[in-house]
Amino acid sequence: MIESLTIENLRGIKKLSISGLTNINIFVGKNGAGKSTILEAIFLASTFFNKEDTLRGKNKLDYIVKRRAGRGNWQNSRDILWYARNTSEDITIELRFRTGNSLKFKVPYAGEISLQIPSEEKATGKATWLKPDNYLDVARSLGLEKETVYLREVVFLDSRLSVYDIERRVWRYLLDKRLDKLVVDLVRDEYEPRTESITYKPGISGFVLSILLPHTSVEIDGLGDGARIAILYASILALVSDTGVLIEDPEVHQHPGGLLTLLKFTLKMAKERNLQLFITTHSLELVSIARELCNKYGLDVKVFYIERDHETGLVDVRTIDRVDLEVLEKMGLDPRLLHVL
């Protein structure tokens, strides 16, 4: 589990440090504060251990660039990821784990991501940087097996995830373990109570996932946005374990009842599958629901308010505890507007 995080020179962030990360971490703040960049930083660090985004069948570096540029790839558009497009300074990301091990990564504009070997710096006074090619042998020698597994398996859930991705790369593994039953239960709870099962159905361009109803079937791509996104996220959450899950604005397209159902599923999976969650949101409903459910499931949760100085790029991070939120709400103040209070 990641305990603290430091980011330098990534997108709008000149420097950001967060400590005290726990099981469930929720980031709130105004648009442009750097919430999504925190998720991208962890995903970027994970490329050292696995360059391929197995959910989408794409290179992670290309995907991070396309999330922001909408086109291009790492080779021709990566400069948008550098703070103020100053590509002469490396992007650096440091993750400290609960095991006590700290991993520091640098991303030079003209090279590939590399990992600092802490023991070498202590012995020689100079930083030694490891390339991804030999990371397994070095990870074993440094006792970083748990951290390696954690970062190698990190997943990013955002609005760009498609039904096609789940159909081709996820659903067969759910079927192998019959974890599809968990997803069916989620659909029945909130979105379509008549659902009997989810199956592959022949379509124009191949087999497509569909829910089976008593008298018909409906392709998942034909469902409402809330139900479709819930199925996509749940399919992945039911499968991964012992890693971090990055979730961007899960409240989008969700009715309050749908949000409650999706969060119940998400937090239950976090508990059962040893997942650390990093969630960005603009929803106070999500924060309130998550607090109550975490208390029910015995999960630690923290809410972090993110505020970026647009002149310097320095980011201030404040932890908002339960008492703070309750006091602000009783006063009729919105915690999302802390930057003007």
Strands (E), 54-131: 58-59, 91-97, 102-107, 114-116, 129-130
Q: Is the pLDDT of residue 247 over 60?
A: yes
Q: Is residue 234 a contact partner of residue 268, using CB atoms and an 8 Å limit?
A: no
Residue 131: predicted pLDDT: 81
308 φ, ψ (degrees, to nearest 5): -110, 135
Domains and CATH numbers, the chain: 2-159+243-340 (3.40.50.300)
Three-class DSSP category at 294: helix
Provide the 10 A C-beta neighbour count for residue 143: 11
Question: How far, CA to CA in Å, does 108 sit from each of 56, 79, 89, 92, 308?
Answer: 25, 11, 7, 9, 24
Q: Is residue 333 a contact partner of residue 341, using CB atoms and an 8 Å limit?
A: yes
Three-class DSSP category at 209: strand
How far is the C-alpha of 74 from the C-alpha of 91, rounded, in Å? Answer: 14
User: Which residue did the predictor score with more confidence, 133 or 214?
Assistant: 214
Alpha carbon 280 to chain centroid, angstroms: 9
User: Which residue did the predictor score with more confidence, 204 or 278?
Assistant: 278
Provide the 10 A C-beta neighbour count for residue 78: 20
Query: pLDDT tens digits for 140-154?
Result: 777 888 999 999 999
User: Which residue did the predictor score with more confidence, 21 or 32?
Assistant: 21
Three-class DSSP category at 217: strand
As a whole number of Å, the CA-based R_g of the chain is 21
Provide the 10 A C-beta neighbour count for residue 80: 12
Q: Please state the pTM of the whole predicted model.
A: 0.92
Residue 141: predicted pLDDT: 75
Question: How far, CA to CA in Å, does 277 sit from each of 1, 202, 203, 246?
Answer: 10, 35, 35, 6
Percent of the chain with pLDDT over 70: 91
What is the average pLDDT across 243-271? Answer: 95
Q: Is residue 274 a contact partner of residue 242, using CB atoms and an 8 Å limit?
A: yes
Residue 124: predicted pLDDT: 58
